[in-house]
Structure 1
Amino acid sequence: MSDSDVLSRVVIREARPEDDVTIGELLISAYVTQYAKKLPEVVYTEERKRELRDVAARRAVATVMVAEVDGEVAGTVALFPPGAPGAEAWLPRMADLRGLATAVKFHGAGLAKPLLDAAHALARKWGVDSVGLHVRRGAEGVGRMYQRHGYVRVPEGDMSLPTVYLEAYQLSLK
């Protein structure tokens, strides 16, 4: 299946409650698969898996979007408005992009672009100045993918958490 074939059939829409289980499992599968290849030392705890599965809680405070291909949820992303509970934005007029992932069978099909385009369009609709996100230190390929979509590395937004160091990236919308 070629990238253009998949992309010609993709529909981006807001997630619905009936998508929650699929999105949660998609996130876990995508992250575990990708990190196992590139960062084998990363272990997803049961607590982290519970957080990823709690899509309903994310939908309560953020806009969760899905990419559908022929009616199948093939990818997802969440955008938190400024000040939303759980947002990791480091500037006051910044939306926080989280949880960009595609189903393993769609990895490499180019679904990140339409998902990011939809998130950026929503951020513009909200009137924010920028979109911020964090990438686990060591996941250089993920950082490069965001840079290809216009994000720049912004060390002042980095987060050092007890279990992980997250590097910040920002896309200016103004």
Structure 2
Amino acid sequence: MSETDVVGRVRIREARPEDDGIIGELLVEAYVTQYAQKLPEVVYTEERKRTLRDVASKRAVATVLVAEVDGEVVGTVALFPPGAPDSEAWTPNTADLRHLATAVRYHGQGLSRPLMDAVEALARQWGVDAVALHVRRGAQGVARMYQRRGYVRTPEGDLDMPTVFLEAYLLRLKG
């Protein structure tokens, strides 16, 4: 199936409680598969998988969007508003983009584009100054995708955590 076939059939909507299980499993599958192929040294602990699967907690503080193809949830992304609990944004009036993932069988078919278009449109509706996100150090392909969309590497927002180093990127929407 070509990229245009899939993208032309995508419907983006806000996640509902009944989507939580599907989204959680999609996140775990996409992250584990993606990083296993590209960064084999990355290990996803059971604790990390539990966090990814806890979609209800994300929906309580963020807007979680899903991509559907033929009625099936095949992608997701979350946008945390400025000041939301668990936000990793480091500048004022900035939304935090997290957990972009697509079903493994759709990788490379352009499915992230409509999700990113929708989440960036939502950020503009909110009137924020920027959208922040983090990429695991070493995930150059993921970083390039964001850079092609206008996100700029912003080292002052980097997160050096005990198990991972996350590189910061920022998309300015104003000024």
Specify the TM-score bucket, using the shorter chain as the normaliser: over 0.9
1:67 aligns with 67
The AA in structure 2 aligned to 1:126 is W
Q: Distance in 2 between matches of 1:149 and 1:68?
A: 22
Unaligned runs of 5+ in 1: none
Q: Which amino acid aligns with 2:72?
A: E
Query: 1:133 and 2:133 equivalent?
Result: yes
Partner deviation per Cα, 1:19-45 (whole Å, 9 max, x = no partner): 000000000000111101110000000
Query: d(CA) in 1 for partners of 2:93 and 2:113?
Result: 23
Match of residue 96 from structure 2: 96
Shift of 1:150: 1.1
RMSD over aligned CA atoms reads 0.5
Shift of 1:147: 0.5
Q: Which deviations, in whole Å up to 9, do the C-alpha atoms of 1:107-142 show, x marking residues without a partner?
A: 011011110111111101110000000000111111
| Identity percentage of aligned residues | 76
Alignment length (residue pairs): 174
Unaligned runs of 5+ in 2: none
TM-score (norm 2): 0.98
Q: Which residue of 1 aligns with 2:23?
A: 23
Report the TM-score, using the length of structure 1 for normalisation.
0.99
Match of 1:32 in 2: 32
Alpha-carbon separation, structure 2, partners of 1:92 and 1:72:
36
Aligned to 2:172: 172
